[in-house]
Amino acid sequence: MTSSIVARLRAAGCVFAEEEAALLESSAGSAAELSTMVEQRVGGVPLEHVLGWAQFCGMRVVVRPGVFVPRRRTECLVRRAAALAPPRATVVDLCCGCGAIGAALAATADVAALYAVDIDPAAVACARENVAATGGTVLLGDLYAPLPRRLRGRVDVLVANVPYVPTGALGLMPPESRLHEPRAAVDGGPDGLDVLRRVAADAAGWLAEGGHLLVETSADQASAAAEVFARAGLEPAVAHCPDLDGTVVLGRRR
């Protein structure tokens, strides 16, 4: 490993400079490509965008520039969803981003049909790469709008990693996210729950009897989100994964 690369990354504020340098060196096909990748990373581009992939649930998922990078805490959502999925489950992944959640569920649960949806064309293109091997379908559109009508009342597991950062807190996010990820993927409105409310409002009509909606939130928002689920006719619960610092609000169709 070149010590000068480690030094440059550390000077740029990369906490795990040695690990990042090793990843960059192993991914670069030439010295010129490595130099370009280091310059991008030192300039603040997320490591995953520089590499072209992110580690998620033990998988490498493709992540293109301008697409939201899946967080490790979101593995909590996958764990809970996989535990609730019945055999031959029909799964819908809303706000799918790069498709990491749907792809991970297809790899860990008995999924018969997977549909992933996002409003961002760049995310949809990326998700199609990640979901292709599962035989799933990726659709462009706003939440439920592009889903086939035949799925109504037949979805066993509905997951949605909705944007949940309150608008007023966006300025507190790390520059990597503020500058390189789409605002629509993180901005959840005044209290962070705007998109969650929209997802919950229509969930019961899409879920099969006993089916579940699972949404990631912050720990501080979980109680309010559970109330939203209850008002939407879902039986709410909150789950935490301390090892991942992840919080998931679940809603079961009554």
Same domain for 125 and 27: no
pLDDT-derived band at 244 (thresholds 50, 70, 90) equals very high
Domain boundary among 43, 62, 81: 62
Domain boundary among 44, 62, 80: 62
**Model confidence over 149-187: pLDDT tens digits?**
999 999 999 999 999 999 999 999 988 889 999 999 999
Same domain for 25 and 126: no
Mapping DSSP onto H, E and C, the string for the chain reads CCHHHHHHHHHCCCCCHHHHHHHHHHHCCCHHHHHHHHHHHHCCCCHHHHHCEEEECCEEEECCCCCCCCCHHHHHHHHHHHHHCCCCEEEEEECCCCCHHHHHHHHHCCEEEEEEEECCHHHHHHHHHHHHHHCCEEEECCCCCCCCHHHCCCEEEEEECCCCECHHHHHHCCHHHHHHCCHHHCECCCCCCHHHHHHHHHHHHHEEEEEEEEEEECHHHHHHHHHHHHHCCEEEEEEEECCCCEEEEEEEEC
Same domain for 213 and 160: yes
Provide the number of structural domains found in the chain: 2
Same domain for 213 and 108: yes
Same domain for 150 and 128: yes
Same domain for 17 and 79: no
Would residue 212 count as lying in a domain?
A: yes
Confidence (pLDDT) at 29: 87
Same domain for 94 and 207: yes
Same domain for 231 and 198: yes
Q: Please say if the pLDDT value at position 80 is more than 80.
A: yes
Same domain for 118 and 212: yes
CATH code where residue 87 lies = 3.40.50.150
Q: Are the beta carbons of 91 and 114 closer than 8 angstroms? A: yes
Confidence (pLDDT) at 198: 98
Same domain for 85 and 46: no
Range of the domain at 212: 72-253
pLDDT-derived band at 1 (thresholds 50, 70, 90) equals low
Q: What percent of the chain has pLDDT over 90?
A: 87
Same domain for 110 and 53: no
Mean pLDDT within 177-203: 96
Same domain for 216 and 112: yes
Q: What percent of the chain has pLDDT over 70?
A: 100
User: Model's pTM, two decimal places?
Assistant: 0.93
Confidence (pLDDT) at 176: 87
Domain boundary among 15, 40, 62: 62
Least confident of 41-45, 59-63, 228-232: 41-45
Q: Please say if the pLDDT value at position 202 is more than 80.
A: yes
Would residue 67 count as lying in a domain?
A: no
**Model confidence over 206-239: pLDDT tens digits?**
999 999 999 999 999 999 999 999 999 999 999 9
Mean pLDDT within 113-138: 96
Long-range contacts of residues 7-14, Cβ cutoff 8 Å, at least 24 apart: 8/38, 8/42, 9/38, 9/41, 9/42, 11/42, 12/41, 12/42, 12/44, 14/41, 14/47
Residues 6+ apart with CB under 8 A from 26: none
